[in-house]
Structure 1
């Protein structure tokens, strides 16, 4: 490896790793902000949260690669230009393409890695992530006993405590209603004090009571008779302890089969198989509709003696005019019924066709996404590297601003056109590749300007032009004043 290649490669890999980590951190923070309401208050352990972040990070990698490549390439070429290293290389007769060759090789490698991640890593991680998110959303909030409020989230129990000591966790004036028999408030336990604790896995509640009594009505049947009344019993205790299993509070991971056919958890071959199946079902439904529309509905008539006579033509109007009024009314009623039936079939078939096409488009959107995000890595390199050579500004501030600007432009265009494709306004190919087609001319333009050392984005060039214009205006103004004298 030549020194030039080693210099450019090391200058590119460092910012690449740094910017990739920064982008991943930003995307993960955005994910946490989106689902913060579902995660807080569920009593999730650290392992579950780390597992969710791991799967989320793997799912977001194809999104982070393009922005990281754009920022790293712009920083690398900007640093080389700012320290006049790029100028020295060009003065030595080295072309811009030759200077960028190590970066091009790395960018192509990143493009391939991004595609493999999008096709193999993302489907597996997205399935795990969606299952975990759904499991967290379905989990009940962490059980907390608050003073003065009846806690009804525990199955078959309603608990109220008057006071709670924050240091010792001792509760005063405890009231517990037992609704396990589903016949009203027939069993109630009162205690002077006690402890109510919940296990760490949120699966059991442990109740320990002191100096209390249990009041219970004993009923032979579920019918209530206020006149007869019911026998009751009272059991006092100095200390009582029982354990109740909590339903729905412990974290339980749902079945991954619920999301096995989602659009974002499929590989390319699976997506193609699903959309092909939908396409065949749609064609079969269309053939069935056309066959039904071609059916001839014949109203049964009683055969006459001359019904077998050969005729050249049949005049429909003549037949209608020859029919009696009763037959005309019956024919019109049958025709109206047939038209209504045909209209209903056509409308239903149109709705089915729209549904099939929309589902197929969703699959094809994910199909193209795996390619567009991968190609975006190479495309953003072809934008960032020439732009850095033109701007000649290193560091993190200016390249970050330019990179975010281009990425936001790409993201807004791709999101808008993707929505058009999902709504069947555009076809899936145009909707998913339009943003790429927009940025390709920009990349070609920047490469052309960088090869010709264009001062397109240099503030010094614009400053010099403004100063020259100001000097020219002052000279012209001075000449006019001298001529007047």
Structure 2
């Protein structure tokens, strides 16, 4: 019996390989197409080397691997165990006295090792890949578009020049009715000019850094020095053949060092983010302690002449409103105000107290802003830390969900697997996305933001496995209590 049981386990594992690989590659393809559709406008028209585009795609495949593996695990379990039950092998296994959990156990062990691998991959490989992809995106975004002339369209991609070509023969690369506007540049001793020609052609150097324009049968109109602001001096010359070269080095793609760029929460390992979190917490506590240690008490000065000096403007204002120095002081519920000799000093004391209160309020608001900003950053980093492990852990959860559902439905085709898989995956990813947004806004903790869906699906999966492997039902709980 032991030998048959081992063969059965190996057979179930083999049945997972095909659906897992198929679903994994399918999800990777869909994610790749989504990536290309979102960023194709940033890659086209800039003359990027093919190697750079391939490197950009490869570096972005890293995050796709982390997302695709749990999805593939769920669909593979639904298909493999559904087929296992559809062929009545589950019935035969139970008749032989074999518990269904022994068939699920090797898949759980495989999912555990996959979870370990994805956790390591997400913590050490993914941050570096994201940093390289981010650096490449910045380099591509700052690169100027490649030289691309189009008929009847102005082109100003080369600094200091504007091109206008009426017609282009793509077969011979010939240009017709060419107009070239040359802008002045004192550093290069270049004067303002308009060059026109009936025809011409372009020739590029072997390394692509130099572009030469040959023009035939044309004229050049140059602006010379001005005798006055309203009397420009121009010179027109005709030519049979004219040649001008352009430096295209500014249009070439240049790589920057990714290690020299600052890293954010998506390009750091969990250890690095926890170190940043510790620093932010120390800064937060330091600001709070410093604020509470400040002397925010107010003591009125004993010398009333000091109050009079500090409130000179208030005196003037009081005189304008008819409050004279000889007016008797007013009674107040505050003891310090009653100690003043006249109303003018009383008003000065009140103004000083209000000024100190406003200063204290400003300090409290600044403290609240600083603490809130650091709490938000701490939450953002902790969300990424939990995400690095919650998504890989979903592989185990999806085995607990997929195995019993596949056996209960007794359908091992891709249609049922896609239907049930879409439902659970939609719930899972919506929970992660919304949880991350709520955690960034400090509505919930980072732990619940990233682990809520795992906990809910884990409870459901555990119950389904127990229900499959034993005679336990939830309804048995209140049936026994009724009896």
Give TM class, smaller chain: 0.7 to 0.9
Match of 2:105 in 1: 101
Q: Structure 2: how far apart are the matches of 1:20 and 1:201?
A: 41
Go from structure 1 to structure 2 and tell me whether the alpha carbon gap of 1:48 and 1:199 turns closer, same or farther (over 3 Å shift): farther
Alpha carbons 1:190, 1:212 under 8 Å: kept? yes
Number of equivalent positions: 440
Match of 1:53 in 2: 57
Match of 1:12 in 2: 16
Q: Structure 1: how far apart are the matches of 2:206 and 2:12?
A: 53
| Residue 389, structure 1, aligned to residue 419, structure 2 | no
Give the deviation of 1:235 after TM superposition.
4.5
Q: Structure 2: how far apart are the matches of 1:204 and 1:300?
A: 79
Q: How does 1:117-136 map to 2 (within 5 A)?
A: 117-136=121-140
1:212 pairs, out of 200, 211, 218, with 218
Q: Structure 2: how far apart are the matches of 1:10 and 1:322?
A: 93
Alpha carbons 2:213, 2:245 under 8 Å: kept? yes
Give the deviation of 1:144 after TM superposition.
2.0
Match of 2:361 in 1: 343
1:358 pairs, out of 376, 380, 392, with 376
Q: What is the TM-score with the length of structure 1 in the denominator?
A: 0.84
Go from structure 1 to structure 2 and tell me whether the alpha carbon gap of 1:246 and 1:299 turns closer, same or farther (over 3 Å shift): farther
Structure 1 window deviating more from structure 2 (261-270 vs 152-161): it is 152-161
Give the deviation of 1:322 after TM superposition.
3.1
Alpha carbons 1:59, 1:121 under 8 Å: kept? no
What do the CA deviations read for 1:331-374 (whole angstroms, capped 9, x no partner)?
Answer: 11111111111111111221111111111111011010011111
Q: Please state whether the residue corresponding to 1:196 is helix, strand or coil.
A: strand
What do the CA deviations read for 1:259-281 (whole angstroms, capped 9, x no partner)?
Answer: 53211111111010011111111
Match of 2:315 in 1: none
Give the deviation of 1:217 after TM superposition.
2.8
Q: Structure 2: how far apart are the matches of 1:12 and 1:162?
A: 62
Q: Structure 2: how far apart are the matches of 1:275 and 1:414?
A: 21
What do the CA deviations read for 1:206-265 (whole angstroms, capped 9, x no partner)?
Answer: 31212223332332xx885324x43x4444433333321236532223442575321111
Match of 1:141 in 2: 145
Q: Please state whether the residue corresponding to 1:140 is helix, strand or coil.
A: coil
Q: What is the TM-score with the length of structure 2 in the denominator?
A: 0.84
1:240 pairs, out of 233, 242, 245, with 242
Q: Structure 2: how far apart are the matches of 1:224 and 1:128?
A: 56
Go from structure 1 to structure 2 and tell me whether the alpha carbon gap of 1:156 and 1:90 turns closer, same or farther (over 3 Å shift): same
Q: Structure 1: how far apart are the matches of 2:37 and 2:207?
A: 25
Q: Structure 1: how far apart are the matches of 2:367 and 2:205?
A: 56
Alpha carbons 2:47, 2:146 under 8 Å: kept? yes
What do the CA deviations read for 1:136-183 (whole angstroms, capped 9, x no partner)?
Answer: 233333432122222223211111112222322211121111114279
Alpha carbons 1:271, 1:363 under 8 Å: kept? yes
Go from structure 1 to structure 2 and tell me whether the alpha carbon gap of 1:417 and 1:149 turns closer, same or farther (over 3 Å shift): same
Q: Please state whether the residue corresponding to 1:35 is helix, strand or coil.
A: helix
Alpha carbons 2:101, 2:465 under 8 Å: kept? no
Q: Structure 2: how far apart are the matches of 1:67 and 1:48?
A: 29
Q: Please state whether the residue corresponding to 2:18 is helix, strand or coil.
A: helix
Q: Please state whether the residue corresponding to 1:116 is helix, strand or coil.
A: helix
Match of 1:476 in 2: none
> Once superposed, what is the RMSD of the aligned Cα atoms?
2.7
Structure 1 window deviating more from structure 2 (33-42 vs 201-210): it is 201-210
| Residue 63, structure 1, aligned to residue 67, structure 2 | yes
1:373 pairs, out of 391, 395, 408, with 391
1:171 pairs, out of 175, 180, 196, with 175
